[in-house]
């Protein structure tokens, strides 16, 4: 069975199991992440207070840490939740939003990586380049034009080998690797970059797939494929109407996504 078929099968399993996914995420996209998880078949919970972050993680199937909107309180919650996840064998997805853009983001990323074992790292080329220890030219939370000249495959491999985890670099062509295996996904649509939160939603639904406790490589591939395919379907249904309608159609597409659609539409290349 190839990776596309494995990812497709995992969609069915996730919808059957309805894993609880704890998200410590940013307030710009928290509602989008919750709706995306519900649509794809998982169950979201958002708890970022230090007094309950670890407790909520302990009853969850996966933890997603997103550093999009940082403050000192949530940084501590991220570490506490991450440590509890590691203690209990719960997969951790890290989305290092804007890593490289500020001292606080850089220190927070470093602190999390030092104290928490990450299962899946999901970010754009600039963010993953920073995590890999490569030179980086950030543009807020987007990939800079300068970083776009980098080889995403090499950047992903460098980060995966450094952190000993699954790395997914998302862009025009997405790259997923465990440091040895590499797959490339070419699903998606440029309008995805014009709607706030599509990256955060991708990390969240990847957490949903990881919550099945299936192979993390398959979970990462399933999350990336799902958002890319949903983007294509949403554009076909509502793209001509504008970004707002596309946004709504994206949630519709995720809610209707199934094993058959992933197998039919998935564009994934295994090296």
pLDDT in tens, 108-131: 999 999 999 999 999 999 999 999
pLDDT at residue 162 in the model: 96
pLDDT at residue 144 in the model: 46
Looking at domain 3-270, does it have CATH number 3.40.50.140? Answer: no
Listed residue (219, 227, 263, 265) closest to 247, CA to CA: 227
Low-confidence ranges of the chain (pLDDT < 50): 141-144, 147
**Residue 176 three-state SS:** strand
Listed residue (201, 204, 212, 200) closest to 19, CA to CA: 212
Q: Can you say which residues are annotated as belonging to the binding site for ATP?
A: 122, 170
pLDDT at residue 97 in the model: 94
Question: What pTM does this model have?
Answer: 0.94
Domain ranges of the chain: 3-270
Cα dihedral 143, 104, 179, 188 in deg (nearest 10): -30
Q: Can you say which residues are annotated as belonging to the binding site for substrate?
A: 46, 197
**Token representation of residue 188:** 């998606």
Q: Can you say which residues are annotated as belonging to the binding site?
A: 46, 122, 170, 197
Burial class of 63 by CB neighbour count within 10 A (0 to 12, 13 to 18, 19+): buried
Is there a contact between 253 and 225 (Cβ–Cβ < 8 Å)? no
């Amino acid at each position: 069975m190839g990776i596309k078929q494995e990812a497709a099968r995992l969609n069915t399993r996730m919808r059957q199991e309805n894993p609880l996914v704890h998200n410590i995420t940013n307030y710009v996209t928290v509602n989008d992440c919750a709706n995306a998880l519900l649509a794809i078949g998982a169950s979201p919970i958002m708890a970022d207070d230090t007094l309950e972050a670890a407790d909520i993680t302990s009853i969850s199937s996966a933890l997603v840490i997103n550093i999009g909107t940082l403050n000192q309180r949530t940084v501590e919650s991220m570490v506490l939740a991450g440590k509890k996840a590691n203690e209990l064998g719960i997969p951790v997805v890290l989305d290092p939003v804007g890593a490289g853009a500020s001292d606080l983001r850089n220190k927070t990323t470093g602190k999390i990586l030092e104290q928490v074992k990450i299962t899946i790292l999901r970010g754009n080329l600039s963010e993953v380049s920073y995590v890999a220890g490569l030179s980086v030219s950030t543009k807020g939370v987007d990939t800079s034009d300068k970083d776009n000249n980098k080889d995403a495959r090499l950047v992903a491999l460098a980060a995966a080998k450094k952190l000993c985890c699954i790395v997914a670099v998302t862009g025009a062509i997405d790259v997923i690797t465990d440091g040895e295996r590499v797959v490339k996904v070419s699903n998606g649509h440029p309008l995805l970059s014009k709607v706030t939160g599509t990256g955060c939603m991708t990390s969240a639904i990847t957490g949903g797939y990881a919550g099945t406790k299936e192979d993390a490589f398959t979970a990462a591939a399933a999350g990336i494929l799902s958002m890319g395919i949903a983007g294509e379907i949403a554009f076909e249904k509502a793209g001509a109407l504008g970004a707002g309608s596309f946004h709504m159609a994206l949630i519709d597409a995720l809610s209707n996504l199934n094993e058959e659609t992933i197998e039919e539409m998935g564009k994934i290349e295994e090296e």
